[in-house]
Amino acid sequence: MSFTRKVILTLSTNPFVTRFVSKYGMKWGAARFVAGETMDETVTKVKELNAKGLVVTLDLLGESVTTRKEAEAATQAAIDSFEVIRKENLDSNVSVKLTQLGLDIDESFCLDQMDRIVAKARETDNFVRIDMEDSPRVDATIRIFDALFERVGKQHVGLVIQSYLYRSQEDVRKLGKKKANLRIVKGAYKEPKEVAYPDKKDVDRAYLELVEQHLKNGCYTAVATHDDAIINWTKQFVADHDIPRSQFEFQMLYGIAESLQLQLVREGYKVRVYTPYGKDWYPYFSRRIAERPANALFVLKSFFRK
């Protein structure tokens, strides 16, 4: 992980920085990465994306809740979002973070919340994907995924795997045995070198290996990256191995690499846009700045335009 990225991720937990940016950030720049603070604003944005041929995964912003009440409210919001998707006829599924659903409070309580969410996903013939958070939570996240998978199967629940973790090849091997639907990402958290590759080139190489491994196992794979080289490699790999387009999709974040998203749609690939919404945008926003410090310049420029 680069020095700048480490500094930004560390600063993002500083209480003064948090208060200051939370107050002004949405106005200055977070709106570039967040579809809206309300569901109504978000529905309008999702319809615009769908009209361009992009499909969506909706993510209610929020993580690391400390009370059951907050976790239950987030559970209800996820359940409601499936209703909105059905009612508004949106082409979208849902992504969730387990620390928003009480993982740090009690694992079995969190599983109960997820049980309700996957039941709604099944009832509305839809799909929920569990985002992957920082490394101390990976084991519990996989345990919860496994339990849900037993109940509803791959059509209604999926998981994320991060290529920066040394353990991921083994995790993908195990998850591949049951044909789990996986999103492969590089990984967005500040991790120690004991658990994650410190060098970007190793993270990129591991990414390709995981995609190859999962596709060759015949499993549905979401290739979630804005990295041109990885996207081009994937296109070539699927062509060389006769992998049907129904077995994979590309995924990118709302507000990032939009012309590449549309280019892939024009080429006939499925592209899903991870679309966050809600008021609790600060930690998500900090990770986007850390990935690309040039984004901080964009935010500063918006500030001086005011």
- Of 131 and 149, CB closest to ligand FDA: 131
For the CB of residue 272, give the shortest distance to ligand FDA in the complex, in Å.
7
Phi, psi at 193, each rounded to 5°: -70, -10
For the CB of residue 251, give the shortest distance to ligand FDA in the complex, in Å.
4
Helix pair angle (15-28, 282-291), 10° resolution: 80
Closest CA to 188 of 101, 289, 282: 289
For the CB of residue 232, give the shortest distance to ligand FDA in the complex, in Å.
12
Q: Which two tokens stand for residue 171?
A: 């995790």
- Of 121 and 160, CB closest to ligand FDA: 160
Q: Which two tokens stand for residue 169?
A: 């090849």
- Of 69 and 200, CB closest to ligand FDA: 200
Q: Report d(CA 26, CA 8) in Å as an integer.
A: 18
For the CB of residue 43, give the shortest distance to ligand FDA in the complex, in Å.
20
For the CB of residue 295, give the shortest distance to ligand FDA in the complex, in Å.
5
- Of 1 and 69, CB closest to ligand FDA: 1
Distance of alpha carbon 24 from the chain centroid: 25
What is the 3 state secondary structure string of 32-60?
A: HCCCCCCHHHHHHHHHHHHHCCCEEEEEE
Q: Report d(CA 101, CA 70) in Å as an integer.
A: 8
- Catalytic residues, by residue number, are 131, 183
- Of 121 and 273, CB closest to ligand FDA: 273
- Of 156 and 291, CB closest to ligand FDA: 291
For the CB of residue 242, give the shortest distance to ligand FDA in the complex, in Å.
26
Note the residues at the interface with ligand FDA (CB under 6 A).
131-132, 160, 162, 185-189, 224-227, 251-253, 256-257, 274, 288, 291-292, 295
